[in-house]
Structure 1
Amino acid sequence: MGGLMTFRSETLDKTQNQIGQLAVSLSSAFNAQHKLGVDLNGEQGEDFFAVRTPQSYGHKGNSDPDLLTSVAFDPETVGKLRATDYTVSFDENLDPVVTRNDNGQVLSGTDPKDADFVDTSGWTPGTGLGEITFGGVTLSFSGNNVAVGDTFEIQPVRRAGAGMEVKIADVDKIAAGDAGFDGEGASPLNSFKSTGNLDVSDLQTSHTAFADNKNYELKVDGTGKLTVIPPTAFTVAGTSYASDATDVEVDVGETVVIDGFSFTLDARPATGDTATLNVSQRIISATGDNRNALALQNLQAKSIVGASATVTGAYASMVSDVGNRTNITQVNLDARQGLTDQLHAVQQSESGVNLDEEAANLIRYQQYYQANARVIDTAGTLMDTILNLRG
């Protein structure tokens, strides 16, 4: 039983996490690149792979069983995924304490780029609510407040490999063509078209543009008041506004970002006038275009696993690790078997039964019996002879 538990904790869990890390890293990178392409129907690529979400378990002694509402992969920090589980607890100030289960290290990085950095910008210690991001995952707590000592085990990638599957069955939906997003792959093509009389500059898109809607109409009056149709959340000069925000004014020179595209206002309309800007997504036909397919192929040479290893390199490292552990286990087994045989021989020499020795003793005792029987027989004959002489 002890051997099985040791195998599980030192080999099985670690290997499952390594396979899961490989699956999530490959799926995330492949999906992100696939979305930069366009399929034969002229539609932007979708997620190619589905992967199992991170698993979480609350301690049975927690103040409430429903404190942790969701655990999800964070696309922005997926490169920080590591092949390990985590324990999350809360100190006397309700600040999260995140510990790696494989080596007991407490995550305490101060640089957001560090793998051991815990992002608590969305966490409110006073209320014990909010979001915590670390190791490529985001934990959301809502409802009841967490209490001191509440503990959770987070398994980001433990069984992710078993949940990895292909989402696209129709080959026409494989986004092999280059969608022409600005700034992506040095493509000279545009991903949008615009019309209108609003005086703007630096109109551009990112690869995530038009996720909510394919067409937008923007209106700016003489006071700089901005109206977005259909209503969508946006930012002006770095300040975020909800989709239902009204009376938001844009000054000349400020940058507006809406659903992945952005522009800078160069001039306001004259007083009493309203200028418009229509922006819509324009996907280029992918017939005969395989540039995104080549980009997908090139992922095999990129360090996408833990931001430090290629898929092939990570897989080879995992196989080597399992092979080394198997060899060590076999050597230990042989050594323990030799020791077992020695102990068995010692035990048998002290209290065991040697069949050869017992057979020899049995023959010797039989010979003793036969000799004694002849002595008795001879004594009887002598007594009879003596008695006959007297008669």
Structure 2
Amino acid sequence: MADLLNIGLTGIRSSRNNLTVTGHNISNIDTPGYSRQRAEQVTNSASYHGYGAMGSGSRTEVINRVVDKYAVDQVRVDTSRAKEAEIYLENISQIDNLLANDSSAPGNALNDFFDALQTAANDPLSKPARELVLSTATGMTQRFQTAYDRMMEQNDAINTQLSSIVDRVNELSSSIAKLNDEIVAAYGKGAGNPPNDLLDSRDEKLRELSEYVDVDVVEQDGNSINVMIGKGQPLVLGGDAQRMAVQTGQGDIGRHDVVFRDPAGSSQVVNQLLTGGELGGLLRFRENVLDRSLNELGRTAMVFADAFNEQHQQGKDLNDALGGDFFKDINSIDFMQSRANGFQTNGAGPGAGKLQVALTDLSALSTDEYVLQGDGAGNYTLRGLDGTQYNVAANAADADHPNDYLTFTDSSGNDLGFEVSIPNGLGSENAADKFMISPARSGASQLETVIKDINKIALRGGNNDSLSLTSSEVVANSSNDATNAITLDFTAASDITNIPDNAKITYDDSAGTAGTGGFVLEYTDQDGVSQSVTVDAAVGSTPATLNFTLTSGETLEMNYTGGALAASNDSDNWTFSRSFDGGELIQGSQGTTGSAAVTQATDIIPSGEISYDGTDYTLSYVDANGLDQTVTVAGAGTGNTVFNVDMGDGSTQVLSINFDSAAAGDSWSLMPEGKSGNANGLELAGLQRDKLVDASDGGGSSLQESYSQLVEFVGNKTSQARITNETNNAILGQSTQLRESISGVNMDEEAANLVKFQQAYQAAAQVIAAAQTTFNAILSIGR
């Protein structure tokens, strides 16, 4: 009966263990990372008799977790990817909203400013129009500054997030290292049986760690693990956890670095080695999107300010003074010093604030950042953040540079668009000193309107209002035949407000409506579109004037001088360019009103009158002192006449005018732009479509195109991030579901197990009762 009793007892114990494990599963159904456990039940060794092997019941051999290593590892991988995509999308969406939102986009404000400028150019004396220019300029600069501030706030938030994440990573790494020790000890105490709950806790810590960074787990002897993060950086080695930290950036205190610290206290920057999770997502967003957006926006602001100031300085304001800077000089001392930051590791040499980075060629300026290092002996190395090395030339101070300075070119000899001034002289830095050079990064914050007076907006043309026409006679298949030489010049009737720059007129003997000849004007219109206009002029004809109608509706009228057009004139061409559109410079009035044109040799065009009495030309004008003056020059009625004009301020200027067929009694009014002139205003408005950004190779983009490219870049990245986030979340859901299907606790299954194991327990108890009854029956025989 003892054997039957023992069998019942083993059944009781096995069923009790099964019930205990099932109860443990049920009580941990909501425990994060818990894996369903199962008591592995095996039969006891049988006893052998002459009639065969007699069973001796069952026992619980081991309690195991129901896990699949692949499923657990996959959840970690997918968690890391999902969290990286989530925080990347969260941050890039803020940039996308900032740059594309109508109420905050700097690009919209830039368009509003140019619209206001065009309105003022159309009505230069309108005070409301000028006020609108200033108000929209202020609004635009505020938009750029606000965009910069918002991005820097986001940068500061990233710094804070990095600190919080690193603190949590350190907590998790310490917990994992501690669990490693406890698990090793538990295996020893449990005679090699697995400490399931400790293993679950470690797996859950690893999964949580994967929310912050990529995790790679390597199992070691003794059931301990090593944990690598990112691109193989050791975080946990058995029972030891490495410490991470966040410190101010080496080259930019505004951008914090993530570092590993060894027991000796030294630090290694590991920004580029960390991938995945929230940590990897933040660092990837900062490097690939935030920094690029700051530099792109800054470059656009600086290119705009520099080009606008340069053009504004060429015009005249309502006070009859040349225009000054409209925006703060991009190479003011504080701006130049802000573009260089000394590394925190620098020694006792000059600080970063003493380096000055001047922007010298905005068309060549890129959005790159650089590291400059000296060797202490006057030699310098400049590298991009990607490791590209550039050519460096050290130059001594000269008339344009009060200090020694460095210039830079790429491997093809192309200028990088900036130079570095070192006031204390070359070679005074320690050999290990480094400087972060960021030519464009802070540009958006430095866009500032300095003009406050509407009268100082320079919309008129400047001192050298002039139009020049150069003739290049090209005689096809023959030498230049003087008898067929012809010339063109501007007529007084031309509406020359918008004469296109860099245009060309060519005579083509097969052009014209009849194909018998014509003059062809090729130019670029106000919208940047190439245009061609042909005026009929047949071979053998002698046209008096040529009238070209432009797409703007204006007329360009040219004087024709010479004999009858001949086939030898085919391909004769004239090109013209303008420094300013000076309005109608010469207007004939009395007598036969012979034509006159200001020549290219003219220094100035004063307001005044010219009369011809048949012998002399007399110029009447008002000098700088407000006094009436006259200059008389003898003339034969034709040809070029030079007036030496006493300006009244101690200088003498030259006015050269070409007269044709002048007769006694003719007079002309000199009409340079008055206060209502708008030539410079039109030039300023035209900057909106000029290719100013990245234009060193002859291509480039307009300001709006450059901004639109930034918006498009961020928008595309945001769209990709949104798709990636949705995809990764779906994949994480699938891998989590897979793990749950294997390791998760199913309440229905556990409830069924309770009933089953309870019945088994009761049955085992009945075995014991049967053994007891049988034993008592045997005892009663002897009574």
Q: If the TM-score is normalised by the length of the shorter chain, which range does it land in?
A: 0.5 to 0.7
Distance 2:351 2:292 in 1: 28
Q: Which moved more, 1:304-313 or 1:16-25?
A: 304-313
- Mapping of residues 77-116 of structure 1, within 5 Å: 77-91=361-375, 94-101=378-385, 103-108=386-391
Distance 1:280 1:133 in 2: 40
TM-superposed CA distance for 1:298, in Å, is 0.6
Say if 1:58 and 1:153, in contact at 8 Å, map to a contact too.
Answer: yes
SS in 2 for 1:303: coil
Residues 228-284 of structure 1 deviation map (CA, whole Å, 9 limit, x = unaligned): xxxxxxxxxxxxxxxxxxxxxxxxxxxxxxxxxxxxxxxxxxxxxxxxx93399xx8
CA shift in 2, pair 1:67/1:320, >3 Å:
closer
* One-letter identity of the residue aligned with 2:438: Q
The aligned residue for residue 158 of structure 1 is: 441
Say if 1:41 and 1:285, in contact at 8 Å, map to a contact too.
Answer: no
Residues 156-195 of structure 1 deviation map (CA, whole Å, 9 limit, x = unaligned): 11121123222223322211111233662264999xxxxx
Instruction: Judging by fraction of residues, say which structure has more helix.
Output: 2
TM-superposed CA distance for 1:40, in Å, is 1.6
The aligned residue for residue 651 of structure 2 is: 279
Distance 2:771 2:689 in 1: 104
Distance 2:683 2:310 in 1: 11
Higher-Rg structure is 2
CA shift in 2, pair 1:339/1:148, >3 Å:
same
Q: Which moved more, 1:338-347 or 1:180-189?
A: 180-189
TM-score norm. by structure 2 comes to 0.33
Distance 1:189 1:152 in 2: 55
Residues 284-318 of structure 1 deviation map (CA, whole Å, 9 limit, x = unaligned): 87521111111011111211112221112211211
The aligned residue for residue 175 of structure 1 is: 458
The aligned residue for residue 299 of structure 1 is: 687
CA shift in 2, pair 1:2/1:293, >3 Å:
same
Pick aligned residue for 2:289 from 11, 17, 24: 11
Distance 2:406 2:603 in 1: 32
CA shift in 2, pair 1:58/1:140, >3 Å:
same
CA shift in 2, pair 1:189/1:149, >3 Å:
farther
Pick aligned residue for 2:407 from 123, 133, 138: 133
TM-score norm. by structure 1 comes to 0.62
The aligned residue for residue 64 of structure 1 is: 349
SS in 1 for 2:734: helix
Say if 2:371 and 2:434, in contact at 8 Å, map to a contact too.
Answer: yes
Pick aligned residue for 1:185 from 580, 601, 614: 580
- Mapping of residues 1-391 of structure 1, within 5 Å: 1-50=279-328, 52-53=335-336, 54-59=338-343, 60-66=345-351, 69-74=354-359, 76-91=360-375, 94-101=378-385, 103-108=386-391, 118-122=392-396, 130-134=404-408, 135-143=416-424, 145-181=428-464, 184-185=579-580, 187=582, 278-279=650-651, 287-307=675-695, 308-365=700-757
TM-superposed CA distance for 1:15, in Å, is 1.2
Say if 1:62 and 1:149, in contact at 8 Å, map to a contact too.
Answer: yes
SS in 2 for 1:338: helix
CA shift in 2, pair 1:372/1:160, >3 Å:
same
Residues 128-154 of structure 1 deviation map (CA, whole Å, 9 limit, x = unaligned): x82113433332213361243321101
TM-superposed CA distance for 1:23, in Å, is 0.6
TM-superposed CA distance for 1:42, in Å, is 1.9
Distance 2:652 2:375 in 1: 50
RMSD: 4.0
Residues 21-44 of structure 1 deviation map (CA, whole Å, 9 limit, x = unaligned): 111001110111111112222222
SS in 1 for 2:691: coil
Distance 1:89 1:171 in 2: 46
* One-letter identity of the residue aligned with 2:371: T
Say if 1:35 and 1:45, in contact at 8 Å, map to a contact too.
Answer: yes
Say if 1:177 and 1:293, in contact at 8 Å, map to a contact too.
Answer: yes
TM-superposed CA distance for 1:123, in Å, is 7.2
CA shift in 2, pair 1:5/1:39, >3 Å:
same
Aligned length: 293
The aligned residue for residue 111 of structure 1 is: none
Say if 1:123 and 1:130, in contact at 8 Å, map to a contact too.
Answer: yes
Say if 2:581 and 2:679, in contact at 8 Å, map to a contact too.
Answer: no
The gaps in structure 1 that reach 5 residues or longer are 109-117, 191-201, 206-214, 216-276, 381-391
CA shift in 2, pair 1:182/1:285, >3 Å:
closer
* One-letter identity of the residue aligned with 1:294: L
Say if 2:464 and 2:603, in contact at 8 Å, map to a contact too.
Answer: no
Say if 1:94 and 1:148, in contact at 8 Å, map to a contact too.
Answer: no
Say if 1:40 and 1:286, in contact at 8 Å, map to a contact too.
Answer: no
CA shift in 2, pair 1:330/1:107, >3 Å:
same
Say if 1:38 and 1:177, in contact at 8 Å, map to a contact too.
Answer: yes
Distance 2:378 2:309 in 1: 36
* One-letter identity of the residue aligned with 1:136: G
CA shift in 2, pair 1:173/1:123, >3 Å:
closer
Say if 2:362 and 2:693, in contact at 8 Å, map to a contact too.
Answer: no
SS in 1 for 2:720: helix
CA shift in 2, pair 1:139/1:364, >3 Å:
same
